[in-house]
């Protein structure tokens, strides 16, 4: 998301404050500090020389990627690029259709009430598609690429775009009034996820409103905690003395679909929903500080005690988890799988390793936080779906340390090993998981520039890490894996696990791409020379690997001000002479972020999620002032005077059919 929560943090176009301030004050040195010490002993490191000295020590792997960036030709993608820019609507490459499939408020069930933004209710919203679609997954039915379940996360809400009469403009800035209980209830029903049957008929995707698996999950859906934290004292509340029953899910960003066809929802910026103060001297104070709790981003605590720390001090420990949903049973209770750790989870994409164990890659999206992976103890059984249903309750969680010479270690977060002992406040594995970030601090994990999607590629055996940006990284905090100070445009790391084994505990890495405008030398971007003025991007966030093993990157934070272009979906070559060539395939309307990218198994459809369209308009000449319900920078996708802007999932197909970008 551009901002973790929008209600009290106007103006809305604060690129630099995206996704938190950074809460990692651990003392484990960054690689820059280690290198810095070495050089200062030799008396080399002085003032601005520091950065070039560090750059000179970047390992051969990283230098190799620079060579790769200079090479060109032989792109794996065939399409005519979209022109980058900013306007009120979306654009897709010539020869493709981009059809609106599901908008905020659309019917999910045969009996869903018709959307009326002026009279929205929680009861209606619970039967309609939610707000701010983020992750999009597709679970084929009957093995088909033309019929299946679409699973979509609804990350957060933008009340100033959703509700009439909420905003006043004071000194040219949005002042948002307090939400009523009814509005908060709408917000809670607009969060969570949607599971909906879809089918392609005559080349066009349609929702099946009476699909028997159709379901809405919200901030009020009952869930169960499973794994090592279930039943622990630190997750017990007045309403749940068992410490196992949680009401709802918050801030579902990206996610995943498991090899056995369950839907994974990742809880990201959960801190924003909590208000109030912990009782003096409360044992969770340091834990909550590390996660930025409370952040007072929403008005929910005004109406629901569980979001007020003074009343329910343990409630925040029940959020920040990875959730697994059995989509085949619409009455199933979603499971918060605590073995995968607690942090601001961007997503959880998985792959079966050669030994049959299932590996989940996890990014903790905050400045200076970490990349993780989880390896199941058990192995995947492709012939017995039921046998896989609790694989996520037992396994090993690892955190990444990227070393300067281009090697890396996955460090196990296992109670009793290394510093993860009672002496350091970890009495059990439950403590290690509740305080995953502190465990990573003690293990010396590498502080990254906002890790978002981490995507395994089953075709070439590599893993791709999207790092959005980090304006707060100082020159003396630069390291080989985070090579730019004040990293405004982010970068992408490519990991090759040792032996090509996704479950390995060590690997090699290189910087695939440093993002930003390559025509400005100071930016230090490393797109290939084949990349056009439309093809470069900043702020990589979500990504997809298509069936051909090609990388597609979607972005969060491009804008008129930052890059002179909206967010979008870019095709990025990773192999051969064309490596680091990027082309723009689709772009979003003003103010939106590009989420979701997902290809059907036949590569004939790309689903993308247009999130928070119309959120912002100050920097765009076409509007030039704040955007809110009564004065929107765009009314995408309906463009009707009585309809506000609506986040929506878009289905992209080739006109006349066929595989995309072939």
Distance (Å, whole) CA 600 – CA 137: 9
Nearer to ligand FEO, 324 or 541 (CB): 541
Nearer to ligand FEO, 530 or 556 (CB): 556
Asked if 541 is part of the footprint of Ca ion (rule: CB under 5 A), the reply reads yes
Asked if 364 is part of the footprint of ligand FEO (rule: CB under 6 A), the reply reads no
Binding to ligand FEO by CB under 6 A, coded x per residue (else -) over 215-254, reads --------------------------------------x-
CB of 7: closest distance to Ca ion in angstroms?
17
Q: Please choose which of ligand FEO, Ca ion, none residue 155 contacts, taking the beta carbon within 5 to 8 angstroms, the exact cut-off set by kind.
A: ligand FEO
CB of 452: closest distance to ligand FEO in angstroms?
5
CB of 363: closest distance to ligand FEO in angstroms?
8
Nearer to Ca ion, 541 or 604 (CB): 541
Nearest to 7 by CA among 143, 117, 166: 166
Radius of gyration of the chain (CA): 23
Q: Please choose which of Ca ion, ligand FEO, none residue 603 contacts, taking the beta carbon within 5 to 8 angstroms, the exact cut-off set by kind.
A: none
Nearest to 196 by CA among 218, 180, 216: 216
Binding to ligand FEO by CB under 6 A, coded x per residue (else -) over 120-149, reads ------------------------------
Region near Ca ion per CB under 5 A, out of 351-359, 394-402, 525-533, 535-543: 535-543
How buried is residue 655: exposed, middle or buried, by Cβ count under 10 Å (0-12/13-18/19+)?
Answer: exposed
Binding residue count for ligand FEO, defined by CB under 6 A: 9
Asked if 603 is part of the footprint of Ca ion (rule: CB under 5 A), the reply reads no
C-beta nearest to Ca ion: residue: 556
CB of 542: closest distance to Ca ion in angstroms?
5
CB of 250: closest distance to ligand FEO in angstroms?
12
CB 306 within 8 A of CB 239: yes
Nearer to ligand FEO, 295 or 346 (CB): 346
- Cross-strand pairs, 100: 650
CB 223 within 8 A of CB 247: yes
Chain centroid to CA 286: 25
CB of 458: closest distance to Ca ion in angstroms?
22
CB 196 within 8 A of CB 214: yes
Structure tokens, 233: 């004292």
Nearer to ligand FEO, 79 or 537 (CB): 537
Question: Sign of dihedral through CA atoms 385, 387, 389, 392?
Answer: negative
Nearer to ligand FEO, 2 or 75 (CB): 2
Binding residue count for Ca ion, defined by CB under 5 A: 4
Nearer to Ca ion, 115 or 360 (CB): 360
> Which of 197, 299, 324, 346 is close enough to bind ligand FEO by CB under 6 A?
346
> Which of 81, 106, 126, 155 is close enough to bind ligand FEO by CB under 6 A?
155
CB of 596: closest distance to Ca ion in angstroms?
9
Asked if 556 is part of the footprint of Ca ion (rule: CB under 5 A), the reply reads yes
Q: Please choose which of ligand FEO, Ca ion, none residue 268 contacts, taking the beta carbon within 5 to 8 angstroms, the exact cut-off set by kind.
A: ligand FEO
- Which residues inside 530-559 make contact with ligand FEO, applying CB under 6 A? 541
CB of 366: closest distance to ligand FEO in angstroms?
9
> Which of 452, 567, 573, 618 is close enough to bind ligand FEO by CB under 6 A?
452
Nearer to Ca ion, 253 or 608 (CB): 253
Distance (Å, whole) CA 649 – CA 542: 15
Nearest to 244 by CA among 257, 233, 253: 233
| DSSP assignment letter at 31 | H
Nearest to 648 by CA among 180, 141, 168, 128: 128
- Which residues inside 2-31 make contact with ligand FEO, applying CB under 6 A? 19
Nearer to ligand FEO, 134 or 603 (CB): 134
User: What are the two backbone dihedrals, phi and then psi, of residue 541, each rounded to the nearest 5 degrees?
Assistant: -135, -75
> Which of 267, 324, 365, 573 is close enough to bind ligand FEO by CB under 6 A?
365
CB 127 within 8 A of CB 111: yes
Nearer to ligand FEO, 497 or 541 (CB): 541
| DSSP assignment letter at 50 | H
Question: Sign of dihedral through CA atoms 280, 284, 290, 293?
Answer: negative
By DSSP bridging, strand 96-103 and strand 648-654 are: antiparallel
CB 152 within 8 A of CB 648: no
Distance (Å, whole) CA 643 – CA 625: 20
Distance (Å, whole) CA 546 – CA 44: 47
By DSSP bridging, strand 222-226 and strand 335-337 are: parallel
CB 219 within 8 A of CB 206: no
CB 320 within 8 A of CB 343: yes
Nearer to ligand FEO, 166 or 254 (CB): 254
Nearer to ligand FEO, 2 or 314 (CB): 2
What is the residue-wise DSSP string for 540-596? Answer: EEEEEE-TT--EEEEES---TTTTSS--EEEEE--SGGGTT-EEEEEEPPTT-EEEE
Nearer to Ca ion, 4 or 148 (CB): 4
Residue for token pair 């009952």: 222
Asked if 449 is part of the footprint of Ca ion (rule: CB under 5 A), the reply reads no
Name the 3-class secondary structure at 307. Answer: helix
Distance (Å, whole) CA 371 – CA 359: 13
- Which residues inside 254-293 make contact with ligand FEO, applying CB under 6 A? 268
CB of 369: closest distance to ligand FEO in angstroms?
11
| DSSP assignment letter at 34 | H
Residue for token pair 């839907």: 263
- Which residues inside 249-288 make contact with Ca ion, applying CB under 5 A? 253
Nearer to Ca ion, 13 or 112 (CB): 13
**Which residues in this chain contact ligand FEO in the complex, by CB under 6 A?**
1, 19, 155, 253, 268, 346, 365, 452, 541
**Which residues in this chain contact Ca ion in the complex, by CB under 5 A?**
1, 253, 541, 556
């Amino acid at each position: 998301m551009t901002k973790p929560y929008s209600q009290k943090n106007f103006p809305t176009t604060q690129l630099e404050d995206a996704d938190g301030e950074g809460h990692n004050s651990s003392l484990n040195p960054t690689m820059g500090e280690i290198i810095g010490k070495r050089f200062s002993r030799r008396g080399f490191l002085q003032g601005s020389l520091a950065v070039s000295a560090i750059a000179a020590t970047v390992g051969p792997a990283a230098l190799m990627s620079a060579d790769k960036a200079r090479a060109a030709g032989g792109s794996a993608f065939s399409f005519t690029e979209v022109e980058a820019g900013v306007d009120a609507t979306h654009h897709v490459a010539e020869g493709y259709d981009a059809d609106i499939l599901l908008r905020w408020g659309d019917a999910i069930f045969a009996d869903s009430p018709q959307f009326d933004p002026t009279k929205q209710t929680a009861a209606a919203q619970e039967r309609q598609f939610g707000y701010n679609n983020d992750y999009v997954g597709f679970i084929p039915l009957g093995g088909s690429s033309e019929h299946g379940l679409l699973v979509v996360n609804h990350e957060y809400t933008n009340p100033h775009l959703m509700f009439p009469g909420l905003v006043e403009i004071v000194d040219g800035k949005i002042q948002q009034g307090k939400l009523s209980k009814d509005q908060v209830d709408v917000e809670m029903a607009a969060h969570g996820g949607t599971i909906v049957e879809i089918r392609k008929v005559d080349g066009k995707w349609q929702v099946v409103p009476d699909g028997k698996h159709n379901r809405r999950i919200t901030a009020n859906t009952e869930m169960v905690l499973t794994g090592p934290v279930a039943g622990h004292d630190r997750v017990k509340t007045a309403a749940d003395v068992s410490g196992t029953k949680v009401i709802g899910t918050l801030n579902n960003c990206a996610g995943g679909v498991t090899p056995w066809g369950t839907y994974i929802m990742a809880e990201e910026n959960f801190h924003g929903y909590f208000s109030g103060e912990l009782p003096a001297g409360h044992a969770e104070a340091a834990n909550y500080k590390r996660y930025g709790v409370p952040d007072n981003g929403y008005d929910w605590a005004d109406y629901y005690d569980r979001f007020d720390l003074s009343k329910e001090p343990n409630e925040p420990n029940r959020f920040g988890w990875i959730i697994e949903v059995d989509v085949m049973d619409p009455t199933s209770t979603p499971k918060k799988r605590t073995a995968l750790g607690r942090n601001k989870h961007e997503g959880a994409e998985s792959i079966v390793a050669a030994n049959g164990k299932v590996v989940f890659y996890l990014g903790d999206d905050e400045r200076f936080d970490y990349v993780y992976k989880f390896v199941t103890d058990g192995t995947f059984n492709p012939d017995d779906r039921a046998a896989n249903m609790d694989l996520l309750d037992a396994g090993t969680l690892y955190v990444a340390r990227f070393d300067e010479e281009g090697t890396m270690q996955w460090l196990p977060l296992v109670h009793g090993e290394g510093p993860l002992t009672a002496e350091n406040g970890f009495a059990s594995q439950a403590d290690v998981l509740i305080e995953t970030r502190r465990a990573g601090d003690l293990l010396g994990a590498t502080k990254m520039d906002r890790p978002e999607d981490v995507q395994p590629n089953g075709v070439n055996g590599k893993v791709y890490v999207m790092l959005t940006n980090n304006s707060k990284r100082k020159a003396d905090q630069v390291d080989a894996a985070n090579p730019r100070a004040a990293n405004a445009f982010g970068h992408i790391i490519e990991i090759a696990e040792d032996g090509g084994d996704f479950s390995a505990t060590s690997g090699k890495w290189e910087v695939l791409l440093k993002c930003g405008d390559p025509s400005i030398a100071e930016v230090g971007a490393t797109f290939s020379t084949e990349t056009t003025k439309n093809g470069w991007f900043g702020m990589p966030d979500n990504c997809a690997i298509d069936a051909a093993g090609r990388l597609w990157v979607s972005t969060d934070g491009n804008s008129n001000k930052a890059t002179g272009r909206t967010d979008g979906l870019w095709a990025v070559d990773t192999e051969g002479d064309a490596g680091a060539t990027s082309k723009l395939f689709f772009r979003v309307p003003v103010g939106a972020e590009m989420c979701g990218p997902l290809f059907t198994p036949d590569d004939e459809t790309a689903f993308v999620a247009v999130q928070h369209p119309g959120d912002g308009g100050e920097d765009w000449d076409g509007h030039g002032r704040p955007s809110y319900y009564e004065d929107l920078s765009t009314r995408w996708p309906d463009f009707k005077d009585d309809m506000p802007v609506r986040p929506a999932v878009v289905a992209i197909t080739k006109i006349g059919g066929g595989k995309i970008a072939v």
